[in-house]
């Protein structure tokens, strides 16, 4: 297949950031067959994504490993936050090196850079090359809005908005803004080697609409005492990292499709109360109707 344009894609290789970006790139690649996409990500993240997922091949996507900052000959054994620090310290030089390699192999200069918005230096790389930069925000639009309005929020806490209003406002702040979320990990997967997400089936046998799914994400998990309390309660949303506090408020107060545990801490009694609310109360029926609508 002959390609007339080359798009570089820079991933942030931690948490679930890389998968939604890859999902977007696969959709773009399927719609733009004349474009070659080069997906730049760490070897560890690429290994996880492509070893645990059954993906249909895309002729116009090439995958490249980017150095993660771990010193040569050393096996990294530190914390997640140390890994992020090493990676960012190695950037953007690690990306520049592999971008040049991709351009030589493909025979086309990159004409546009798409990156996870966490990789702020991609803006400088794009400007240096004289090409457009398209940042991809993997989280909900409410968290992006919170960054824009940090000063105002600190002055007047507690204002509630909903996504359509936030999206309209963000379009007034950015010249080119497209909301394509929410992002989901939609590709079919093989049985994962490590499971951080906890699916919970609750309720009466064979009763319709009686499944509750609880997810902690892939980076941060609750402390052991909260996991024990959750298990004792039969295994409601407990926000504790990143933009999850904002997401939980949107889920409960704006979208009205779920609940969060009181004070953001799992206890046996609070978890049971939240589960009963979702599964058996009239409020839970309203949540399900809101979700369907």
Question: Which of 17, 65, 124, 151 does the annotation list as catalytic?
Answer: 17
CA separation for the pair 249, 27 (Å, rounded): 30
Token code pair at residue 195: 């499971």
DSSP state of 251: I
Query: Nearest to residue 236, comparing CAs of 285, 197, 271?
Result: 271
Strands 112-116 and 133-136: parallel
Residue 116 designated active-site: yes
Residue 151 designated active-site: no
> DSSP 3-state assignment of 191?
coil
Question: Which of 116, 169, 253, 263 does the annotation list as catalytic?
Answer: 116
Strands 198-201 and 211-214: antiparallel
Q: Taking the C-alpha atoms of 88, 92, 95 and 100 in order, what is their torsion angle to the nearest 10 degrees? A: -170
> Maximum distance among all alpha carbons in the chain?
62
Any idea which residues carry the catalytic annotation?
17, 116
């Amino acid at each position: 297949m002959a390609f007339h344009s080359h798009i570089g894609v820079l991933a942030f290789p931690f948490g679930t950031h890389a998968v939604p970006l890859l999902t977007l790139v696969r959709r773009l690649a399927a719609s733009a067959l004349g474009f070659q996409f080069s997906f730049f990500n760490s070897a560890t993240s690429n290994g996880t994504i492509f070893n645990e997922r059954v993906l249909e091949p895309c002729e116009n996507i090439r995958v490249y490993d980017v150095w993660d900052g771990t010193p040569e000959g050393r096996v990294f054994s530190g914390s997640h936050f140390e890994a992020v620090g090493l990676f960012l310290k190695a950037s953007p030089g690690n990306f520049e090196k592999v971008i040049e390699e991709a351009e030589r192999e493909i025979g086309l200069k990159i004409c546009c850079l798409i990156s996870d918005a966490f990789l702020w230096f991609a803006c400088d790389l794009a400007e240096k090359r004289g090409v457009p930069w398209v940042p991809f925000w993997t989280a909900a639009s409410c968290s992006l809005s919170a960054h824009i309005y940090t000063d105002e929020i600190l002055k007047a806490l507690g204002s509630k908005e909903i996504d359509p209003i936030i999206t309209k406002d963000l379009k007034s702040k950015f010249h080119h803004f497209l909301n394509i979320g929410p992002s989901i990990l939609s590709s079919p997967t093989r049985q994962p080697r490590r499971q951080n997400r906890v699916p919970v089936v609750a309720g009466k046998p064979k009763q319709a609409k009686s499944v509750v799914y609880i997810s902690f994400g892939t980076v941060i998990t609750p402390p052991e005492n909260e996991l024990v309390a959750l298990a004792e309660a039969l295994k409601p949303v407990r926000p504790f990292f990143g933009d999850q506090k904002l997401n939980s408020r949107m889920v409960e107060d704006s979208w009205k499709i779920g609940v969060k545990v009181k004070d953001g801490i799992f206890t046996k009694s609070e978890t049971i109360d939240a589960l009963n609310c979702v599964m058996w109360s009239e409020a839970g029926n309203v949540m399900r109707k809101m979700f369907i609508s």
